[in-house]
Each structure stands twice: as structure tokens, then as C-alpha cells.
Amino acid sequence: MQIRISGHGSLVIRAGIMATCLLMAACATTTGSGQGPRPIPEGQGRLIIEAGGIRQLNYYIVDQDTDEEIFSDHPRTAGSSPIGYESGSRSTNLVQDLPPGLYTVVVLTDIEDFVRVRDVEVVMGEERYATPQVGRFMLRLFTDPGIVQIPTPFLITDYNMRTVLGRGMTSTEVRHFIVPAGRTYKVRMENSPTGRDEILEVEVRFGGITQIEIDARTPAGEQQGGDDASP
């Protein structure tokens, strides 16, 4: 059996197919993964904190007209692991929608110091940026294979080592410490696994990660000597 469709019928079918395709495309748009930025709510503006690649900060926002704290978020622990946050698999907390006005952003770092950005103007329907000058450093401790690494405390001081600014612990995990950028610090570890006090200089810059290392592994020559001396 053959089915014939007239020119008019063919036009109707084509129109139906096009309508179906448009409907499917619309559904795909509204039910997608939502990777794009969300719309700015009516009557508000958007404040984006640009922290040199850092996706999570402890901070609060103050309305400069009323001196009132209008937002606060503290998701990080000191020296927390960057896994997830740095890869982008976790959402950032650095985008906030606010009523138009003049604000101060105060970032709490991992030491007893903070970074303040004043006079951030939020405009209705627009995106505005605040750039707190913060940076990161990480400390890695290397030991011989098979030796259980015991967390070792260390101090973070100013360059002249006159003031203790913070404290930390070594870890087998990668940990980033967020501090004010544009400064040089000292990290002091007493009774380190190397058998001596370690004092390391740390220069922290905006947008970078300063890596410092303590190598407590037995030198290759001493390992060989120990092997030769054994029966």
C-alpha cells in the first residue's frame, strides 16, 4: 500500500516537525545544567570578589552608610585542603547580590590579620568587583618511605620574627594557608623531623601559591652507608 501526501499535507507535517524541534530546544535550555550565571534579581546589583583564583574565603560585608554587617560567610578552616574548591567542583561563595549602595568587604585570613576593601559601589542591574589582596602558601614535609608522618606544629611570624601571626600543623594532605599578599613571612618549626629548628622565608603574592618544603629524608649517602654496615 502506498501513502501519498499532497503538497499542503507535506507543508503541515514540516511545520509540525519544526514546532517540535523548537519545543525540544526550549526544554533543553531550561532544564540544562545551568552553567551560566544566574540573573541578577530585580532591584539589586551583583558583587563579585576576585581573589586571584581562590574560590572560598571567610569574609563579611558591611554597609558603609549604616555601618551594619549585612552578610557573613565562614566556610573555611585554617589551612584547609583546596581539593574541590580549587578545581571548581564546589561552588564559590564569592558572588553576592545586594541592594545598591556603598560597601566594605572584610576578608578574614588564616592568621591574626584581615584584608579590607572599602568603597565598593554596587549598582542596580550591574556587576561590580572587589579585589582583596590575599595570597596562599603551602608547606610540604618529606620523610623516608614507611615512616608514619606525625603532624608537627609550626608558627607563622612577621619577617623580623617579632610577632606570632598564626599557627599551623603539617599534614600528609595538601593544605593552603591564606594570608595578606605582598608580604614576606617566616615559618618556624621547632623540633622538626630533621632534628633541628627550621626557619623558612615565605614571600606571598596575589594570585600565586608559594610552596615551601622541609626535607626530613635520610640522605642517599647515609642510607648506603647504613646498608654497608649492616651484617
All domains of the chain, ordered by start, with CATH?
Answer: 45-132 (2.60.40), 135-216 (2.60.40.10)
Question: Which three cell numbers mark 9?
Answer: 499535507
Closest to 152 (Cα-Cα) out of 217, 80, 214: 214
How far apart (Å, rounded) are the C-alpha atoms in residues 195 and 204? 27
Per-residue pLDDT of the chain (231 residues; tens, 9 = 90+): 333 433 444 434 444 444 444 444 444 333 334 466 789 999 999 999 999 999 999 999 999 999 999 999 998 876 665 554 454 445 789 999 999 999 999 999 999 999 999 999 999 999 999 999 999 999 887 777 776 667 788 999 999 999 999 998 887 777 889 999 999 999 998 766 666 788 999 999 999 899 988 777 777 655 555 545 444
Which residue do the cell numbers 499542503 mark? Answer: 8
CB 61 within 8 A of CB 105: yes
Bridge pairing between strands 134-142 and 209-215: parallel
Question: Where are any strands of DSSP class E within 6-160?
Answer: 45-49, 58-63, 68-73, 95-98, 101-108, 114-122, 127-130, 134-142, 153-157
Question: Where are any strands of DSSP class E within 9-100?
Answer: 45-49, 58-63, 68-73, 95-98
How far apart (Å, rounded) are the C-alpha atoms in residues 230 and 169? 36
The whole-number pLDDT of residue 174 equals 75
Query: Based on C-alpha coordinates, what's the Rg of the chain?
Result: 28
Phi then psi for 7, rounded to 5 degrees? -60, -40
Strand partners, 142: 215
Closest to 74 (Cα-Cα) out of 62, 54, 50, 58: 58
Strand partners, 69: 62
